[in-house]
C-alpha cells in the first residue's frame, strides 16, 4: 500500500492533549494535521448547549491541572483564553447547615493539622511533578536515558529529605481513608478531602491507591500553581480553552479539520503511514499520533492484526469503565443553598459529608448499581459567567459518583431517571426549592460520555488511574512511552502517562517523543 505523504504528523482527535501535542510539533517545525470527528474541537473539554439557551462544560467543568508552562508556552491567554473565575474556593455542603469553606470552621485539633497536612502533601506533590511531567522510563533496558530518568526520579524523592521520603514511601501506597483518619477528626472535612482522591477513580476512600490518586491531582495542581488554589473556570466554559488551544495550534501552522472521522490507521511494511477517513479519503503522514483512548486506537483504528496477541490481551484488559456521571441543570433562578455566601456559590461545592458516605456511594458501583446517595461536585458556572444562560437564569453542573458504565440492567430510561432523582434529592435537601426552579436537566452517564466523546468506557482518564495502570505500565507495557509497537504510531491521550483531567501533559510528552523519533 502506498499513500502520498502530505504531513509530517497527523493527530487523530482534537481533544486538549491532541491540540497541545499538535501545537508543540508545529512549533518545532513539523507540518501537522489534526483530524476531529466532531463539529467542534476540544473533545471532552467543550461547551455545549444542553437546553435551549443554556450552555455548560459538557465534560470536565473546572480547569485546575494544566501546567502554567503549557499555558504560557502556547500563549493561550493571547489566543483568547479568559477566566471567569480563578482560585475558586471549595465549600463543603452539609445537611442542615451553611456550607463551610474548606479550611474554615475547624476544630482546634483539625485546624492545627490542616495546614501541616496541606503543606506536607504539597511537598510530596512538588517532588512528584517531575515524575508526572516527563516521559516514564522503561525498566530493564540497556538505555542510559532510561537509567538516568530512573535515577532522577529516585533523586527527586531522595531530595525530600529522610523524614519526608519515608513518609511518602509509606503513604504512597495507602488509602486516603487511613491517611485522613490519622490526621483529622471532622467527618465533613475528611469526606470532602477524600472526594478529591476518588473523583474520576474506580475507588472508594478505603481503596489502597487513593493517596496516589490524590497526589496525582495535587501534582497536577502544583504544576498549575499552588495545590488547592488552582481551580478555575474559563469564560465561555471549557470549550473556550479548547478554542484557545486550537487558535494557538493554528497560529503555529497546524491544519485542523473537524467533521473528519478517522476510520483506520494505514499501515505499510510494518509502519504507520497515514489514516483513512470515513469518507474513504486517505491522508499520508510520517507519524500518526492518536489522542483517542488506547482501546479505540489499538483495537478499532489500528486493528489487532497489526499487533501481537500478548499486547492485545493487555490492551483488552485495560480497566477503563467510567464511574462519574455529569448532571446539567438549567435553572430559572439562582440556586439557594441554605446559608451559602456569594463567594461560595462562585466556587466549588462538594457533597461528601463523611468518609462512610463516600464509601457507601462507592459500594454500589462495585455491584453494577448507581449510588443511592451519590457524592457530588457542584459548580454554578453562571455565578461567574452569565453568558452561559438566558438573563437571570442559571446553570448548575454536577459531577456525580458513582454511576458505573456497566450498570446492571443497563442505563434504561428508568435507571437514568432514578439516578437523576438520587442527585436531585440530595441537592433539594441542601437547596430547598431547587426542583421547582428547574427548566431542564441533562444526565450524561459514562455511556453517554462514551458516545459523545468517543472515549471507550466513558472514562475521563481513558483508563483507571491505579498503581497497576500507572507510569511505565500506563496504558500497557510496550506503549507507555507514547510510542507503540507499530513504528510511526504514537499515543498522546489521557490513557497515557500521567492521565487525564485537562492537563495537556500527555500531549506535551508525546510531542517530545515524536520529535525524538525524528518524524
Partner 1 sequence: MSADTSHFKQPLLKTPFHERAREISQVDSFIPWAGYSTVDVFTTMEQEYFAIRNAATLFDLTPMVKYRIAGPDSQAYLNRLVTRDLGKLKPQRVSYCVWCNDSGHIIDDGTVFRLSETEFRLCTAERQIDWLLDSSIGFDVTISEVTEQIAALALQGPTSCAVLKALNIAGIERLKPFELGQFALGSMPLMISRTGFTGDLGYELWMAPEDAEAVWDALMAAGRTRGIRAIGSSALNLARIEAGFLSPNVDFLSAEHTVRIGREISPLELNLAWLVDFKKGHFTGRRALVTEKERGPRRLLVGLDVAGNKPAHNALLYTNRAGRREIGFVTSAIWSPTCKRNIAYGLVDAPFHALGSTLWADIYLHRELKWERRMSRAQVVDKPFFAPERRRATPPADF
Partner 2 sequence: MARPPQDDLDAIIVGAGHNGLVTACYLARAGMKVLVLERQPYIGGAAVSRRLYKDFTYSNCSYVCSLLRPEIMRTLELPKFGLQVIPYEGGCTMMQDGGHLALYDNHDALRREIARHSKRDAEAYDRYSRDVMRQCKFIKPLLLREPPDPTSFKLRDLQELLYLGKRFHGMGEARMYDTLRFWTMSAADFLEEYFESEIVKAHFAGSSIIGTALGPRSPGTAYVLLHHYMGDIDDTVGAWGFARGGMGAISNALGASLQASGGTVRSAAPVERILVKNERAVGVVLEGGEELYAKRVISNLDVRRTFLNCMDAGDLPDEFLTRVRNFKIRGSSGKLNIALDGLPSFPAIPAGSPSIRGDMHVTDTLDMMERAYDDWKDGRWSRAPYIDMLIPSQIDPTMAPNGKHYMSVFVQYCPYELAEGPWNSERRQAFGDTVINTIARQSPDFKDLILHAEIRTPWDIENEVGLTEGNIFQGELTMDQLLFNRPVPGYAQYRSPVKNLYMCGSSTHPGGGVMGAPGANAARAVLRDAGRLN
Query: Which residues of this protein are in contact with partner 1, per CB under 8 A?
Result: 267, 270, 299, 303-313, 316, 478, 485
User: Does the footprint of partner 2 cover residue 485 (CB under 8 A)?
Assistant: no
Backbone φ, ψ for residue 313 (5° rounding): -60, -45
Q: What is the DSSP letter of 301?
A: I
How far apart are CB 336 and partner 1 at their closest, in Å?
53
How far apart are CB 140 and partner 1 at their closest, in Å?
11
Closest CA to 357 of 373, 336, 376, 346: 373
User: Does the footprint of partner 2 cover residue 143 (CB under 8 A)?
Assistant: no
Of the pair 174, 299, the CB lying nearest partner 2 is at 174
Residue listed under C-alpha cell 509497537: 485
Distance between CA atoms of 403 and 49, rounded to whole angstroms? 23
> With helix as H, strand as E and coil as C, how does 436-452 read?
HHEEEEEEECHHHHHHH
User: Does the footprint of partner 2 cover residue 319 (CB under 8 A)?
Assistant: yes
CB 138 within 8 A of CB 480: yes
Distance between CA atoms of 485 and 412, rounded to whole angstroms? 39
How far apart are CB 457 and partner 2 at their closest, in Å?
15
* Choices 259-267, 355-363, 448-456, 507-515; region in contact with partner 2 by CB under 8 A: 355-363
Distance between CA atoms of 106 and 92, rounded to whole angstroms? 12
The item of partner 1, partner 2, none sharing an interface with residue 119, based on CB under 5 to 8 Å by kind, is none
The item of partner 1, partner 2, none sharing an interface with residue 303, based on CB under 5 to 8 Å by kind, is partner 1
How far apart are CB 208 and partner 2 at their closest, in Å?
4
Chain positions 363 to 382 lying near partner 2, rule: CB under 8 A, are: 363, 366-367
Of the pair 39, 142, the CB lying nearest partner 1 is at 142
Give SS3 for 51: strand
What's the Cα-to-Cα distance from 334 to each of 331, 342, 370, 382, rounded to whole Å? 7, 11, 28, 9
Distance between CA atoms of 237 and 89, rounded to whole angstroms? 18
The item of partner 1, partner 2, none sharing an interface with residue 308, based on CB under 5 to 8 Å by kind, is partner 1
CB 205 within 8 A of CB 180: yes
Answer for which of 305, 413, 468, 518 binds partner 2 (CB under 8 A) is: 468
Identify the H or E element spanning 29: none
Give SS3 for 227: coil
Answer for which of 206, 229, 264, 332 binds partner 2 (CB under 8 A) is: 206
The item of partner 1, partner 2, none sharing an interface with residue 311, based on CB under 5 to 8 Å by kind, is partner 1
* Choices 173-181, 235-243, 321-329, 508-516; region in contact with partner 2 by CB under 8 A: 173-181
Distance between CA atoms of 76 and 240, rounded to whole angstroms? 10
Helix ranges, 134-263 (H):
144-158, 162-171, 176-183, 187-198, 210-224, 238-251
How far apart are CB 189 and partner 1 at their closest, in Å?
46
Closest CA to 348 of 204, 228, 250, 509: 228
User: Does the footprint of partner 2 cover residue 174 (CB under 8 A)?
Assistant: yes
How far apart are CB 142 and partner 1 at their closest, in Å?
13
Of the pair 43, 475, the CB lying nearest partner 2 is at 475
The item of partner 2, partner 1, none sharing an interface with residue 169, based on CB under 5 to 8 Å by kind, is partner 2
Q: Give the interface with partner 2 as residue ranges (CB under 8 A).
A: 138-141, 158, 162, 165-167, 169-175, 178, 182, 206-209, 317, 319, 356, 359, 363, 366-367, 466-468, 472-473, 477
Amino acid at each position: 500500500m502506498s499513500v502520498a505523504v502530505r504531513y509530517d504528523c497527523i493527530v487523530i482527535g482534537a481533544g486538549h492533549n491532541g491540540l497541545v501535542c499538535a501545537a508543540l510539533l508545529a512549533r518545532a517545525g513539523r507540518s501537522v494535521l489534526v483530524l476531529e470527528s466532531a463539529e467542534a474541537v476540544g473533545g471532552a473539554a467543550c461547551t455545549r448547549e444542553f437546553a435551549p439557551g443554556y450552555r455548560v462544560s459538557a465534560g470536565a467543568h473546572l480547569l485546575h491541572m494544566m501546567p502554567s508552562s503549557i499555558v504560557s508556552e502556547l500563549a493561550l491567554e493571547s489566543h483568547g483564553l479568559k477566566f471567569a473565575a480563578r482560585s475558586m474556593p471549595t465549600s463543603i455542603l452539609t445537611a442542615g447547615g451553611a456550607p463551610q469553606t474548606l479550611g474554615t470552621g475547624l476544630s482546634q485539633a483539625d485546624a492545627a493539622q490542616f495546614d501541616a497536612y496541606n503543606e506536607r502533601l504539597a511537598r510530596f506533590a512538588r517532588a512528584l511533578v517531575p515524575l508526572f511531567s516527563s516521559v516514564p522510563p522503561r525498566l530493564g533496558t540497556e538505555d542510559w536515558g532510561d537509567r538516568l530518568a530512573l535515577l532522577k526520579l529516585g533523586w527527586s524523592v531522595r531530595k525530600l529529605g529522610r523524614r519526608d521520603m519515608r513518609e511518602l514511601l509509606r503513604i504512597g501506597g495507602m488509602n486516603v481513608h487511613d491517611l485522613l483518619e490519622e490526621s483529622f477528626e471532622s467527618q465533613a472535612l475528611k469526606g470532602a478531602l477524600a472526594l478529591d482522591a476518588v473523583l474520576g477513580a474506580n475507588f472508594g476512600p478505603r481503596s489502597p491507591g487513593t493517596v496516589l490518586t490524590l497526589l496525582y491531582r495535587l501534582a497536577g495542581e502544583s504544576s498549575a500553581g499552588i495545590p488547592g488554589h488552582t481551580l478555575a473556570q474559563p469564560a465561555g466554559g471549557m470549550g473556550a480553552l479548547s478554542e484557545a488551544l486550537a487558535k494557538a495550534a493554528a497560529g503555529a501552522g497546524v491544519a485542523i479539520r473537524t467533521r473528519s472521522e478517522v476510520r483506520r490507521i494505514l499501515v505499510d511494511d510494518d509502519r504507520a503511514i497515514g489514516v483513512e477517513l470515513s469518507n474513504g479519503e486517505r491522508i499520508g503522514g510520517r507519524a500518526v499520533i492518536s489522542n483517542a483512548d488506547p482501546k479505540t486506537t489499538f483495537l478499532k483504528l489500528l486493528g489487532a492484526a497489526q499487533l501481537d496477541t500478548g499486547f492485545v490481551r493487555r490492551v483488552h484488559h485495560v480497566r477503563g469503565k467510567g464511574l462519574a456521571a455529569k448532571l446539567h441543570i438549567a435553572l430559572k433562578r439562582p440556586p439557594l443553598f441554605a446559608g451559602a455566601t456569594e463567594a461560595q456559590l462562585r466556587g466549588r461545592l462538594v457533597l461528601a459529608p463523611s468518609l462512610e458516605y463516600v464509601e457507601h456511594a462507592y459500594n454500589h458501583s462495585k455491584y453494577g448499581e448507581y449510588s443511592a446517595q451519590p457524592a457530588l461536585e457542584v459548580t454554578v458556572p453562571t455565578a461567574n459567567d452569565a453568558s452561559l444562560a438566558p438573563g437571570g437564569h442559571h446553570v448548575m453542573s454536577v459531577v456525580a459518583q458513582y454511576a458505573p458504565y456497566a450498570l446492571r440492567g443497563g442505563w434504561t430510561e428508568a435507571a437514568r431517571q432514578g439516578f437523576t432523582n438520587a442527585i436531585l434529592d440530595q441537592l433539594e435537601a441542601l437547596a430547598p426549592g431547587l426542583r421547582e426552579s428547574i427548566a431542564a436537566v441533562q444526565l450524561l452517564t459514562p455511556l453517554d460520555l462514551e458516545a459523545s466523546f468517543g472515549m471507550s468506557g466513558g472514562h475521563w482518564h481513558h483508563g483507571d488511574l491505579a498503581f497497576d495502570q500507572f507510569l511505565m505500565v500506563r496504558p500497557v507495557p510496550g506503549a507507555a512511552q507514547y510510542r507503540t509497537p507499530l513504528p510511526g504510531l504514537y499515543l498522546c491521550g489521557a490513557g497515557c502517562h500521567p492521565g487525564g483531567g485537562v492537563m495537556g501533559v500527555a500531549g506535551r510528552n508525546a510531542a517530545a517523543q515524536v520529535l525524538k523519533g525524528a518524524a
